[in-house]
A and B are shown apart, each in its own frame.
Chain A
Amino acid sequence: MLDTLSRDFLQGKEEVLRLSAIALLTGGHILIEDIPGLGKTTIALALAGITGLSFGRVQCTSDLLPSDITGLSMFSREEGRFTFLPGPIFNNIVLLDEINRAMPRTQSAMLEAMEERRVTVEGTTHPLPDPFMVFATQNPSDQSGTFPLPESQLDRFLLCTGVGYPPEQLEKGIISGGGIRERIGSITPVATAGDILAARRAVAEAVYLSDAVVGYIYALVAATRNHERIQTGLSTRAAINLAQAARAAAFLEGRDFVAPEDVKGVAVAVCAHRLILRPEHESAHPGELLRAIIAEIPLPLA
């Protein structure tokens, strides 16, 4: 499925696709952070298309209200009572485009829905569909008119990654061929919601996480907690998410056990956005810092 996507539609986006699949397989949410126009939305659309899952999109603006996402009750004149009109969040894959443009009130409503996987509107609780995955995009926050997500909200995202520019050859090809938005509509699904749920179960139950790898994860988390340039290290939730993501990565590699490389491969995406650096080192990039930390921890090899 991933191969099909990256070969036919999304050239040069293997890493982002892999991470999105990991998020899908662990039931987590992904935050994509990059400047506009690099294909963030396209990736989300393509993922929804190839899995045959329903897709909803919310374009965030500063006047977006929570009910614009969750839906609202309308008075139906024919039936003589209020009926609930579900909002765009009632889809398997929800793209929250430019989430940092929304007001904090709306942001927190969305993030609550992400965490609880249900929405309460006017006293009635409506469960969200399963699988449910939020695909949030964010422009780097130094642009004007944005409300950056607070750290506690960032912690709710399993993964956070950039997209990056495609390699030179590919980009030239894209320039000449034009965008692929139109072709994405014609993707034939290769998986169903049931397949995704089964794969999720397999990731959680059938992939073995050895004590050695658990020790490695712990060493990594402990190293961030004791690092001189980091104010707040990784939480236990971060460690749990790291293990989950590593399981999914191993599953994608076709293995039924987790190798330390799986942890290494997802560590930056899972952890970097959760680190809070000391004020005097704020200019440093957390991803780089994390890579340096990872390089110092010996892998369990025997």
Chain B
Amino acid sequence: MNLRLSKIIAALSYCVALCGIVPLFPWLTTAPRLAIAAGMIAGIWQERRGAWPLKNWWLNAAVVPVFLFYAAQFSRANPAQPVVSVLAVMLAVRLGGEKSGRHYLQILALSLFCLAASSLFDLSPAFLVYLALLLLLVAVSLVLLTFHAQDSRMTLARPDLRKVLAAGLLMPLASLPLLLFFFPLLPRTQLPLWNILPPTAHATGFSDRIEPGRAQNVAESRLTVFRAEMPRLPQRQLYWRGTVFNRIVGNRWIRDVAMPAERIGYSGPRIVQNIYPEPGRSRALFALDAPAAITLPQVKRFPDGTFEQQGAAGKRLGYAAESVIAGILPVAAAPERAFYLRLPDGIPPRILTLAEEIRRRGDSDVGRLELLEVHFRNGNYRYTMQGLPVGVHALEQFLFEKKQGHCEFFASAFALLLRGAGVPARLVGGYLGGEYNELGGYYLISEDMAHVWVEAYIADRGWVRVDPSSLAQNAGAVWGGPKKRGLLDKFRLTLDSFNHSWNRTVITYDFERQVEAARGAGKRLQGLDARKVLKASLPAVLLLAGVSGAILLALRRKSLLPSREERLLRSFYRRLERDCGIGVERGSQGLFELATASGNGRVREFVEIYAGAVYRDRRVTPGEYGQLKRMLREGFRNG
């Protein structure tokens, strides 16, 4: 079957245009979007009809006012959008009009520009996919276009087409080594050049203050906050410390930077994590509670065991953290109790009464903490995101009437009561839990895992972590065992690990770190025992050899494993030459010719059976095969 070259090129150019425009599409305004869609549809429709009522010069003339319009919109504040719009409109015009070789080239170039423009707005790994696809298609199109330039009505047989396609695909593949060479050399950006901040989310998540009672319901957002590469840990130990709120103003807990100095004595085994936060507004650096060290060039450490990033926020970065996850922060000297006992005015008397009662009943800070825990555990409190108490008296309502709320209610009420009872307390904001991605070996933490818990100071022990939300009556159901993962979830995690490795290796590529990793690998290699390596790699090598052998066999099956008919024919020739003394020119002498030449009845009989099968388009049946074999064994001597 032959294919018209011009049809193939047209189809390819539509594919190329799609590859260029799809990544840009979400960032376009409505008018260019419509233009592109219209151009595509008009082009394909006219292609199918084979007639081109839309004349190119109309279209070209129509671009001029569009260009002028967008040129007028161009300004320093808005440089990208008009340019991108003009690009899209020009591509639309080319797609909609009749195409000669020159127009096809313009489509290819415009599509490449469109794809490149999309990287102004977004640096997602999908870009790589589109780029690879586009380059392959462009290479094939260019090869076909050279043929097209010779003869526009040319048709290509399938085998020829296959050859052309192979050549087109080989060109980009041949340039891969160059890519490896350029990758470390060329500068790159860690942020999309134009679209600097991702859209801000108004949902659950980490914030710089704790104010229960703001809204009745809270929506959950699954936006990724950060990823932490580390070994797997029990889910209950995954408290990610972000910030500490130490001062109450009215209903709000806020962070007072002028906190008293403390010296934390970290002890116990340290867990190392490599954390890659998504660019966001927060300067807080997250790590497992409690981080002892965070390696980042510009980092500020606070006496309450939290870290903040200095310099420009919103940059994609990665850092290593070391954490001690004991749940207790031992402090060398007792902190300034008064700072952590300060209460605002206007606390409802009912709350004060409850706090006072606990202070009276407990004989020490430990006793008071335990009493409060018992109060929460037996108080029938429910953890929920819906039907929350609102308003100025939200906490009071939560404690005594509604008895349901989320972590902010639990934690701020708990800390308030602790302070009221004379135990120094503060809130810690961060995330709880994480979804482990086995493929990438990292925890994925999303906004809906934002959490607040309490730290109480107990003399001789230090700051003790208390999570009042876990005292809720339905805590087991909410924080309970691992969730079952559906197929969709697994797919999402796989995609996410791809996204992560893209961010790690391409976007936040760090030459020094790469060299370090290479050096480390080299050192480890030197320390290896050759025999051990051989032993370990033996199965892999054997498997590889087996697989390649099988592939080779499958490819050369024709010559290595001749069919039954070919084997019969070969032994027939040998027999004929030996028994009848005729030289056989293989391939140029027909079987019946040979039979006539030999003048032998048995040869004729053999040929008739054999040819009867072969020239009736069927295989030799087992019965016939046996018969022919027997005739060959007996020979043609006495025929």
A interface residues (Cβ-Cβ under 8 A, vs B): 208, 210-213, 253, 255, 257-261, 264, 295, 298-302
Cβ-defined contact, B569 with A302, below 8 A:
yes
Are B590 and A210 in contact, CB atoms less than 8 angstroms apart? no
Q: Give complex CA distance A295, B587 in Å.
A: 9
**Are B566 and A302 within 8 A (Cβ)?**
yes
Q: Which residues of B contact A255 (CB under 8 A)?
A: 608
From A261, A264, A302, B614 is in contact (CB under 8 Å) with A302
**B residues 599-618 in Cβ contact with A at 8 Å:** 608, 611-612, 614-617
Chain B 1-26 interface mask (CB, 8 Å, partner A; 1/0): 00000000000000000000000000
Say whether, besides A212-B617, A302-B563, A259 and B611 are in contact (CB < 8 Å): yes
Given A212-B617, A264-B590, A301-B587, verify A257-B566 contact (CB < 8 Å): no
Q: What residue of chain B has the Cβ atom nearest to residue A263's Cβ? A: B590
Shortest A43–chain B CB gap in Å is: 24
Ordered by A's residue number, 11 sampled pairs between the chains whose C-beta atoms are within 8 Å are A208-B615, A213-B615, A255-B608, A258-B615, A298-B588, A299-B589, A301-B569, A301-B591, A301-B614, A302-B569, A302-B614
CB–CB B614/A212 < 8 A: yes
CB < 8 Å: which of B588, B608, B616 contacts A208?
A: B616
Which residues of chain A are near B566, meaning CB under 8 Å? 302
Q: How close is B586's CB to chain A, nearest CB, in angstroms?
A: 8
- Docked Cα-Cα span, A211 to B611, in Å, equals 13
Find out whether the CB atom of B615 lies under 8 angstroms from the CB atom of A261. Answer: no
* Pairwise interchain contact B616-A261, C-beta atoms closer than 8 A: no
Q: Closest CB-CB distance, B444 to chain A, in whole Å?
A: 58
CA distance A212 to B563 in the complex (A): 15
Instruction: State whether B590 touches A259 (Cβ < 8 A).
Output: yes
Q: Is the CB of B587 within 8 A of A259?
A: no
For B612-626 the 0/1 string (1 means CB < 8 A from A) is: 101111000000000
Besides A208-B616, A261-B593, 16 more A-B contacts (Cβ < 8 Å) are: A208-B615, A212-B614, A212-B615, A212-B617, A253-B592, A258-B615, A259-B590, A260-B590, A260-B615, A261-B591, A264-B593, A298-B588, A299-B590, A300-B614, A302-B563, A302-B565
Cα distance, A258 to B590, chains bound together (Å):
12
Minimum CB distance partner of B570 in chain A = A302
Return A301 CB to nearest CB of chain B, in Å: 6
Residues of chain A lying within 8 A (CB to CB) of residue B616 = 208, 210, 257
Which residues on the B side are within 8 Å of A208 (C-beta)? 615-617
Q: Determine the distance from Cα of A242 to Cα of B563 in the docked complex, in whole angstroms.
A: 30
Distance, CA A212 to CA B587, complexed state (A)? 14
Q: In angstroms, how far is the closest chain B Cβ from the Cβ of A258?
A: 6
The 7 closest A-B pairs by CB, nearest first: A261-B590, A302-B565, A298-B587, A210-B617, A257-B615, A210-B615, A302-B566
Query: Given A208-B615, A211-B617, A212-B614, A259–B565 Cβ distance below 8 Å?
Result: no
Name the distance in Å between B84's Cβ and chain A's nearest Cβ.
52
Say how far A154's CB is from chain B's closest CB, in angstroms.
28
Q: Please give, as numbers and ranges, the residues of chain B lying within 8 Å of A211 by CB-CB distance.
A: 617
Q: How far does the alpha carbon of A153 sit from the alpha carbon of B568 in the complex, in Å?
A: 46
Binding site for A on B (CB under 8 A): 563, 565-566, 568-569, 587-593, 608, 611-612, 614-617
CA distance A264 to B588 in the complex (A): 10
Q: Report A-chain residues with C-beta under 8 Å of the C-beta of B587.
A: 298-299, 301
Residues of chain B within 8 A of A300, CB atoms compared: 614
In the assembly, what is the distance between CA of A275 and CA of B568, in Å? 38
In the bound complex, how far is the Cα of B590 from the Cα of A119, in angstroms?
A: 43
Contact between chains at A295 and B588 (CB < 8 Å):
yes
Closest chain B residue, CB of each to CB of A209: B615
CB nearest to B620 among chain A residues: A302
Please report the C-alpha to C-alpha distance between residue A233 and residue B539 in the assembled complex, in whole angstroms: 59
A15 to chain B, nearest CB (A): 14
Distance from B47 Cβ to chain A, minimum over Cβ atoms (Å): 31
Which A-chain residue is minimally distant from B563 (CB atoms)? A302
Contacts of B592 in A (CB 8 A): 253, 259, 261
In the complex, the answer to whether A259 meets B588 with C-beta atoms within 8 Å is no
Q: CA–CA, A261 to B608, complex, Å?
A: 13
| Cβ contacts under 8 Å, B608 to chain A | 255
- Distance from A297 Cβ to chain B, minimum over Cβ atoms (Å): 8
CA distance A261 to B615 in the complex (A): 11
Expressed in whole angstroms, the minimum distance between the Cβ of A209 and any Cβ of chain B is 9
A295–B589 alpha-carbon span in the complex (Å): 9
Give min CB distance, A219 to chain B, whole Å. 12
Complex-state Cα separation, A182 to B189, whole angstroms: 106
Note all chain B residues with C-beta closer than 8 A to A302.
Answer: 563, 565-566, 568-569, 614
When distances are taken between beta carbons in the complex, the residues of chain B under 8 Å from A257 are 611-612, 615-616
Of all chain A residues, the one with the shortest Cβ separation from B594 is: A261
A35 to B608, CA, bound (A): 39
Residues of B within 8 A of A259 (CB): 590-592, 611, 615
Closest-CB distance, A108 to chain B (whole angstroms): 34
Complex Cα distance, B614 from A208, in Å, reads: 11
- List residues of chain B with CB within 8 A of the CB of A261: 590-593
Distance in angstroms from A107 CB to nearest chain B CB is 37
Question: Whole-angstrom distance from the CB of A222 to the nearest CB of chain B?
Answer: 11
Least CB distance, A175 to chain B, in whole angstroms: 31
Chain B residues, CB < 8 A from A298 = 587-588
Which among B566, B591, B615 has the greatest number of chain A C-beta atoms within 10 A?
B615
A211 and B616 CA atoms in complex are apart in Å by 8
In the assembled complex, the Cα of A111 lies from the Cα of B615 at a distance in Å of 36
Complex Cα distance, B616 from A28, in Å, reads 25
C-alpha gap A300/B614 in the complex (Å): 9
Give the CA-CA distance A259 to B607 in the complex, in Å.
11
A211 to B563 Cα, complex, angstroms: 17
Q: Report how far A298 CA is from B590 CA in the complex, Å.
A: 10
Name the residue of chain B whose CB is nearest to the CB of A260.
B590
Task: Return B605 CB to nearest CB of chain A, in Å.
Answer: 13
Q: In the complex, A258→B615 CA distance in Å?
A: 7
Alpha-carbon distance between A259 and B613 when the two chains are bound, in angstroms:
11
A212 and B590 CA atoms in complex are apart in Å by: 13
Chain A residues closer than 8 Å to B590, beta-carbon distance: 259-261, 264, 299
- In Å, the complex CA distance between A302 and B592 comes to 14
**A299 near B588 (CB under 8 angstroms)?**
yes
Q: Contacts of A295 on B, CB cut-off 8 Å?
A: 588
Tell me, in angstroms, the Cα distance from A156 to B614 when the chains sit together.
33
Chain B's nearest CB lies how many Å from the CB of A133?
A: 27
Which residues in B have their C-beta under 8 angstroms from that of A210? Answer: 614-617
What residue in chain A is nearest B567 (Cβ atoms)?
Answer: A302
B606 to chain A, nearest CB (A): 13
Chain B residue at minimum C-beta to C-beta distance from A297: B588
With most chain B CB atoms within 10 A of its CB, the pick from A211, A213, A253, A299 is A299
Residues in A with CB closer than 8 Å to B565 are: 302
* A208 and B568 alpha carbons, distance in the complex (Å): 23
For the complex formed, measure the closest distance between the CB of A240 and the CB atoms of chain B, giving whole angstroms: 19
B617 contact set on A, CB distance < 8 A? 208, 210-212
- Report B614 CB to chain A, min CB distance, Å: 6
Q: How far is the CA of A213 from the CA of B616 in the complex (A)?
A: 10
Per the bound structure, the CA–CA distance linking A253 and B590 in Å amounts to 14
Q: A126 vs B140: C-alpha distance in the bound complex, in angstroms?
A: 61
Cα of A12 to Cα of B588 in the assembled complex, Å: 27
B286 to chain A, nearest CB (A): 70
Q: Which residue of B lies closest to A208 (CB)?
A: B616
Query: Shortest beta-carbon distance, A180 to chain B, in Å?
Result: 29
Determine the chain A residues whose CB is within 8 A of the CB of B614 once the complex forms: 210, 212, 300-302
Q: Which residue of B lies closest to A250 (CB)?
A: B615
* Least distance between B208 CB and chain A CB atoms (Å): 79
CB distance from A251 to the nearest CB of B (A): 14
